[in-house]
Amino acid sequence: MKRFFGLCFLLALAPLPTLAQEKAREKAAGKAPEKAPEKAPGKAQEKKETLTQLVDRVQAFYEKTQDFSAQFEQRYHYKMFDRTQVSQGRVIFKKPALMRWDYEKPTQRSFLISDNQVLALDIAALTLTKTSIDTDKLSAAVTFLWGKGKLKEEFHIAYAQCKGCEEVRLELTPKKEEPRFQKLFLDVDAKTAQVKQSTVVDPDGSENRIRFLNWKENQNLKQEAFKLSVPEGIQFLDMTKMPGT
């Protein structure tokens, strides 16, 4: 069940590929995120205020976003195997807590999060899996999308270098011990404050990167868009009725 919960957590932020990485994370022993070099008090203060304002605008962008849709490209790099898996598809979201990811390449899969329930449809495996998840206990890395979690309250946030990037890259390191991931990078459009790309660094150093394309928000998406069409012959697996769940 822990394996499935970890999948559901990162699915909400950026869906995981089929392989799972469950190695224990080595504790950072109080290591704090590095700060950008400061040349003079005045410039340092100006940069700090700019960072704070940018984070506030990112937070505000998603607080006022009622729904969105986008194409996505996912690149998951498995550090242990030095291999990258590339996937493509479409994602839609609607407040308060509806999110759907439809993978189109290389295989067809769909993940639907509805309140405290997750449905995973795998066409190739002919399975539809249902599990539960307590969205109230998710990190702000997820819940800020719903206008609830506060990034500045849960993360140390700093600028990160990104050569050749069109966006501003932010590095988010959890203030408290977080067994599900090491850190998070957000590539933000400085004009709109929209997150164009997110990168989750797993405990073993693997990276799950999602790039959002053709983004559209506040389209008044209908509830029907979040209903899965299940083909005949699909096996239904209800994980919510298993012992210990």
Q: Which pLDDT tens digit goes with each residue over 120-137?
A: 999 999 999 999 877 666
Q: What is the DSSP letter of 242?
A: S
- DSSP class per residue in 162-213: -TT-SSEEEEEEESS--TT-SEEEEEE-TTT--EEEEEEEPTTS-EEEEEEE
Q: How many domains does the chain have?
A: 1
Calculate mean pLDDT across residues 190-199. 93
In this prediction the pTM is 0.76
Look at residue 49 and tell me whether its pLDDT is greater than 50.
Answer: no
Look at residue 116 and tell me whether its pLDDT is greater than 60.
Answer: yes
Look at residue 171 and tell me whether its pLDDT is greater than 70.
Answer: yes
34: in domain: no
**Tens-digit pLDDT profile for residues 225-234:** 999 999 999 9
CA distance 230 to 111: 12
Return the structure tokens found at 173.
């390191």
110: in domain: yes
72: in domain: yes
Residue 80, judged by CB atoms within 10 A of its CB (0-12, 13-18, 19+), counts as exposed
Segments forming the whole domain that contains residue 130: 2-13+40-241
33: in domain: no
Amino acid 244: pLDDT: 60
* Maximum pairwise Cα distance, the chain: 67
Calculate mean pLDDT across residues 78-101. 93
Amino acid 240: pLDDT: 85
Beta bridge partners of 173: 156
Order of strands, edge to edge, in the sheet holding 235-238? 155-159, 168-174, 183-188, 195-201, 207-217, 67-78, 83-94, 98-105, 109-114, 117-122, 127-132, 235-238
Strands (E), 64-182: 67-78, 83-94, 98-105, 109-114, 117-122, 127-132, 155-159, 168-174
Percentage of the chain modeled with pLDDT above 90: 58
The number of helices, as runs of H, and strands, as runs of E, in the chain is 4, 12
Domain containing 196 — which CATH number? 2.50.20.10
Amino acid 215: pLDDT: 94
Calculate mean pLDDT across residues 114-122. 89
66: in domain: yes
Calculate mean pLDDT across residues 222-244. 89
CA distance 28 to 178: 10
Measured in degrees and rounded to the nearest 5, phi and psi for residue 67 equal -160, 165
CA distance 17 to 79: 14
**For residues 126 and 109, is the Cβ–Cβ distance under 8 A?**
no
Of 135, 174, 129, the closest CA to residue 156 belongs to 174
106 upstream amide cis, omega within 30 of 0: yes
19: in domain: no
Amino acid 115: pLDDT: 76
Calculate mean pLDDT across residues 53-69. 93
53: in domain: yes
Amino acid 143: pLDDT: 67
Number of Cβ atoms within 10 Å of the Cβ of 69: 18
Amino acid 150: pLDDT: 84
31: in domain: no
